[in-house]
Structure 1
Amino acid sequence: MAAKLDGTGVTYQQLSDLEHDFDDVETEIIRQQVRLTEPLYEKRRELVSQIPGFWNLVIEQAPSDIDEWIQPSDSAVLLSSLTSLSVSHFEVEGGAQGDPRSVAIRWEFAENDFFEDRVLEKKFWYRHSKNGSSGLVSEPVNIKWKEGKDLTEGLLSLAKAVWDEDQAQGTIQTKKKRKDLTATQKALEEKIDSIGLGGVSFFAWFGFRGDPVTAEESRTAVQEQKDRRHRRKNGEDVESPAREEEEEDEEEDVDLEIFPYGAQVAMAIADDLWPGAIKYFTQAQEEDEMSDVDFESNQSSGSSLADEGLSDDEAERPSKKRKA
């Protein structure tokens, strides 16, 4: 029997089902929005392709959810070599009825001193687990770094090697028991510890994996949840499955996720940076214009600044600070 809120005839399960109904509607809204805006994004692509450095300036103005992960060395690549950025909702392309929250983020680069790749694309699948949680999962994407130029210091290539190992063994867990670690997994653990979260390159984001939920598990979980909701709406008393409690183990799990906030960064790109690209580009243009005005003002008032004890360098320095 479903538990009721004290003094009411309302159950927690009814509230939960209503939340899922809202989620279904929001998902359909996203699906329709993707289809309606697709031609607009194509038009924008054609326009911005004629603007040199468009995406470099957009990245320069990236919101904090993205910017905080971009190291100075990452900026050197992104602000000089990035030629295009795009987001596609690949599961609903061509009228397919997949989940519109699944996204592919494609980065295109010019020739640069750091890696051979001209295109780096990372896919994120929106998956549902049997315990009721949901979110983005992905697969590591390797980068062909040039000699001595690996900004991740080997972190990404090790994450990809561990992924390949897991696929060969039929396992997808990012958390491992220390006693079961392979040589490659031990090497990855040591590399994660040596770099630390604060010093990891943005390009390690390409190694993000997320919760280990397969496509089949997700489809089963969604269908079972729909069945339970349908039966409850028909008057049946159907409880949701209880969350499985993990068996206690004295040995702590080793987490081999190299970019724990990968899903949040992906959503910030897909939901903010990508749709707001023109806004961020305009901001960059406005800041550059303000910098020019400040510079000219400082030049014209050079004598008064000198009288105030400021050096020539301080008087001539623009207020705008570039990341690169």
Structure 2
Amino acid sequence: MAEGEEPPVSYEDLALIEAEFEDVDTEIMRKQYDLSAPLYAKRTEVTRKIPNFWPLVIEQAPPDIDQWIQPHDSRIIAESLLNIEVRRPELDNKGSGNPRSVSIKLEFKPNQDFEDTVLEKTFWHRRAKDGWSGLVSEPVRVHWKKGKDLTEGLTDGAVALWEARKKTGDMTAKTLPEYYALKKKVDSWNGSNTSFFTWFGWVSGRRWVSAEESEEANRMYLESKEKRMKAAKSEGDAAEDTNEDEDQEEENDDEAVEVHQAGEELAISFAEELWPNALKLFTQAQDDDISEIDFEDMDTDEEDEDDDDEPIDIRALVQDKGGKARSRDSTGGGAAPPSKKQKKK
């Protein structure tokens, strides 16, 4: 290189800068969680006294959540959801772990659909040995009452495969009867979403990553990062390593038996959009109540012509125009759940 000539910028230079941004974001998340925890506790204490608070918040959920809630899910949420709580389990009790791990708990009153009054799912932020990082989660069984399983056996199948793999000690095993049974169920749905509650059976967008693998991968990542800070690896070596890792991950990929298409995205939306913005979404629901009452009065004739397309939202199940709780049969017998309201864009 000629004297005074600037060295070319490499991909490694950009990757190191990106890693430094991630380190800063991690520290910000830790600090924010510590400062906001008392406020969230106070908010929970107050909102528990507000009837239908969380069903109305869910009704205003952002698209990343709303698109996965089916009409039959809306009925359960409207009738039974009592509370939502989001925690960062690796930071609880003054922990210094990864703030991107998140636990989401939904509390329900006794209902006609499942036995559980609490459904809690924890998503661990892990790093795989090939360098991939993201959320993974153990499947959670929903104890559906007879004939009520909205997931059509998908969550039960995910739990069955998980338990079978644990017995063999191989969390990527594909020769098990439970693997073939779950793959058949997933194939029969051809990627369509049966129910929001299928989310509780989600494991990973790629494959399960254990805490032990993640710990070792993080150690290797930090060592590699320190080396790159001193001298960047050659592009040829990096490309060769990546190709080998990709080949191995393709063999272990569990997409064929994953019961939910967007488990990680849904968890992040709950933690970073719905949970922190709950008060704003609840207020928005009250404002929409006023404007939509006027709209419905003006459009009564048109709606009568085509009742099947009537946009009834969660509020139609939990509240009448006067703000009182509405029974299941108040919409005309309650034989079938109403169509879900289209969100305002």
Asked if Structure 1 and Structure 2 have the same fold, meaning a TM-score greater than 0.5 normalized by the shorter chain, the answer is yes
Identity of aligned residues (%): 42
Alignment: residue pair count: 302
Amino acid at match of 2:13: Q
Distance in 1, matches of 2:184 and 2:271, equals 32
Note the C-alpha offset of 1:17. Answer: 1.5
Q: 1:95–1:110: structure 2 CA closer, same or farther, 3 Å change rule?
A: same
User: Which residue is 1:264 aligned to?
Assistant: 265
SS across alignment from 1:278: helix
Paired residue for 1:219? 215
Q: Partner amino acid for 1:189?
A: K
Equivalent residue runs for 1:1-324 within 5 Å: 8-173=7-172, 176=174, 180=175, 182-210=176-204, 211-233=207-229, 235-236=230-231, 242-243=241-242, 244-246=245-247, 255-295=256-296, 310=301, 313=304, 321-323=312-314, 324=338
8 Å contact kept, 2:62–2:274: yes
Aligned-partner Cα distance in 1 for 2:282–2:22: 32
Q: 1:238 offset after TM fit, Å?
A: 5.0
**What is the CA distance between 1:21 and its match in structure 2?**
1.1
Separation in 1, partners of 2:216, 2:284: 45
Q: Which amino acid aligns with 1:276?
A: N
| Residue of structure 2 in register with 1:303 after alignment | none
TM-score normalized with structure 2 length: 0.80
CA distance in 2, matches of 1:275, 1:292: 28
| Alignment RMSD (CA, Å) | 2.9
- CA distance in 2 between counterparts of 1:23 and 1:312 reads 51
What amino acid sits opposite 2:313 in the alignment? R
The verdict on how the C-alpha distance between 1:237 and 1:253 changes in structure 2, with shifts beyond 3 A counting, is closer
SS in 2 for 1:271: helix
- In the alignment, which residue of structure 1 is the partner of 2:335? none
Stretches of structure 2 that go unaligned for 5 or more consecutive residues are 315-337, 339-345
Distance 1:322 1:254 in 2: 33
Change (3 A) 1:56 1:28: same
d(CA) in 1 for partners of 2:32 and 2:150?
37
Deviation at 1:236, TM superposition (A): 4.5
Cα gap change, 1:19/1:183 in structure 2, threshold over 3 Å: closer, same or farther?
A: same
C-alpha separation between the residues in 1 aligned to 2:249 and 2:110?
51
Partner of 1:304: none
Shift in CA distance, 149/289, structure 1 to aligned 2, threshold 3 Å: same
Separation in structure 1 between the aligned mates of residue 45 and residue 192 of structure 2, nearest angstrom: 37
Q: 1:237 to 1:291 in 2, by over 3 A?
A: closer
In 1, the alpha carbon distance for the partners of 2:84 and 2:146 equals: 26
> 3-state SS of the aligned residue for 2:83?
strand
TM-score between the two structures when normalised by the length of structure 1 = 0.85
Are the aligned partners of 1:59 and 1:79 in contact in 2 as well (CA < 8 Å)?
no
Matches of 1:133 and 1:227 in 2, distance apart?
16
In structure 2, distance between residues paired with 1:75 and 1:154: 19
Distance 2:258 2:219 in 1: 29
Deviation string for 1:11-56 (max 9, x for gaps)?
3222211211111111111111111110110111111111000001
- Alignment deviations for residues 31-88 of structure 1 (CA, whole Å, 9 cap, x no partner): 1111111011011111111100000101111111111111111111111100000100
Change (3 A) 1:253 1:74: closer
Q: Which runs of 5+ in 1 are unaligned?
A: 1-5, 300-309
**Counterparts of 1:164 and 1:124, CA distance in 2:** 18
- Which digits, 9 at most, give the CA deviation of each residue in 1:203-232, with x for residues without a partner? 110000013211111111112221222234
Distance in 1 separating the partners of 2:137 and 2:169: 16
Distance 2:249 2:89 in 1: 40
Using the alignment, how far apart are the partners of 2:226 and 2:250 within structure 1?
38
Q: Which amino acid aligns with 1:228?
A: S
Change (3 A) 1:20 1:281: same
